[in-house]
């Protein structure tokens, strides 16, 4: 098995400081948290940013500042979000890709998202994929439903993307695929050969799905974007605390944890 890539999704677009006061929102807070997660064993950060009022934004300048602050501190892989927040236009969402981060997310289908709709029609998907290729940015295919794997493969058949792709299964979103191990197995079995994959379990599904992924040879995403609790009724103190727990479980299961450069090799970034 490859070494384990731990991605940390430290801020997201939906969580507020009211829900967890430890949520990092300013560029400085986000960079410090990314650094603490790197020290704890994360090799990739999934990045969202907020404006001065703490609202989600895809503002290129705020992304730029945050990325600079992270890079001053460590060599963690930076993966920007093109999902942003529900309701954002495709022009807003694509902005951070033009900063040429190493990776960016690419959700290959529309999905209900709680009471909202996370809108990803074919036109958006193609536009994001084409721009990522132009900028030399590797996509991480965000899969909220099994059909999204096939949608990504359609981009490969049309010559826009190349296999092997890296996938992230976002499981347990109300409106998307439920976060069960049975569903995880189905997703993994639906992948083309040589794909790499990770799991982001939402809420209480984070820990069991992370553990299953470590056993199955996948990779893991944790963080406040997906889950603000350490355990039932107990808020997490930091994103690093969630990373540290994954590292402990991986060690117990005899799976080594990848450094950022080892993760780059596994993902074909270098």
* Distance in Å, CB of 140 to ligand KMH, minimum: 8
Contact 255, 218 (CB under 8 A): no
Residues with Cβ within 8 Å of residue 69, at least 6 apart in sequence: 27, 28, 30, 31
One of 7, 58, 105, 227 touching ligand KMH (CB under 6 A): 105
97 or 257: whose CB is closer to ligand KMH? 97
103 or 246: whose CB is closer to ligand KMH? 103
How far apart CA 150 and CA 61 sit, in angstroms, is 34
One of 35, 38, 63, 113 touching ligand KMH (CB under 6 A): 113
Assess 85 for contact with ligand KMH (CB under 6 A).
yes
One of 24, 27, 41, 83 touching ligand KMH (CB under 6 A): 83
How many other CB atoms sit within 10 Å of the CB of residue 114? 11
CA separation (Å) from 267 to 5, 74, 101, 165?
Answer: 9, 19, 14, 9
2 or 14: whose CB is closer to ligand KMH? 14
Assess 168 for contact with ligand KMH (CB under 6 A).
no
Specify the residue for token string 């992924």. 213
Assess 13 for contact with ligand KMH (CB under 6 A).
yes
Contact 23, 15 (CB under 8 A): yes
Alpha helices in the chain (DSSP H): 27-40, 60-73, 90-94, 122-135, 147-157, 181-189, 206-216, 239-252, 260-266
* Distance in Å, CB of 224 to Zn ion, minimum: 11
Least Cα distance to 74 among 37, 124, 49 occurs for 37
Query: Would you tell me which residues interact with Zn ion (CB under 5 A)?
Result: 81, 83
Stretch of 58-66, 83-91, 149-157, 206-214 contacting ligand KMH, by CB under 6 A:
83-91
Assess 82 for contact with ligand KMH (CB under 6 A).
yes
Q: Which does 102 bind (CB under 5 to 8 A by kind): Zn ion, ligand KMH, none?
A: none
Assess 160 for contact with ligand KMH (CB under 6 A).
no
Binding site for ligand KMH (CB under 6 A): 12-13, 81-83, 85-86, 105, 107, 113, 118, 142
């Amino acid at each position: 098995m490859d070494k384990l890539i731990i991605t940390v999704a430290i801020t997201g677009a939906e969580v507020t400081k009211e829900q967890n006061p430890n949520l990092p929102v300013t560029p400085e807070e986000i960079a410090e948290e990314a650094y603490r997660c790197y020290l704890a064993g994360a090799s990739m950060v999934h990045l969202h940013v907020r404006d001065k009022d703490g609202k989600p934004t895809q503002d290129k300048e705020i992304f730029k500042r945050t990325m600079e602050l992270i890079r001053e501190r460590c060599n963690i892989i930076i993966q920007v979000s093109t999902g942003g927040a529900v309701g954002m236009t495709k022009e807003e969402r694509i902005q951070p890709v033009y900063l040429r981060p190493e990776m960016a997310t690419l959700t290959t289908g529309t999905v209900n998202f709680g009471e909202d709709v996370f809108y990803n029609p074919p036109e958006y998907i193609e536009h994001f994929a084409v721009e990522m290729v132009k900028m030399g940015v590797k996509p991480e295919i965000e899969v909220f439903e099994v059909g999204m794997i096939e949608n990504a493969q359609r981009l490969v058949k049309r010559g826009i993307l190349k296999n092997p792709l890296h996938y992230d299964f976002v499981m347990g979103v109300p409106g998307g695929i439920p976060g069960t191990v049975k569903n995880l197995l189905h997703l993994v079995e639906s992948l083309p050969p040589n794909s790499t994959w990770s799991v982001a379990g939402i809420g209480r599904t984070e820990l069991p799905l992370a553990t299953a992924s470590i056993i199955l040879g996948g990779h893991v995403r944790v963080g406040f974007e997906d889950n603000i609790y350490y355990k039932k009724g107990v808020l997490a103190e930091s994103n690093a605390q969630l990373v540290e727990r994954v590292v402990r479980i991986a060690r117990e299961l005899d799976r080594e944890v990848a450094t950022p450069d080892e993760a780059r090799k596994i993902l074909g970034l270098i």
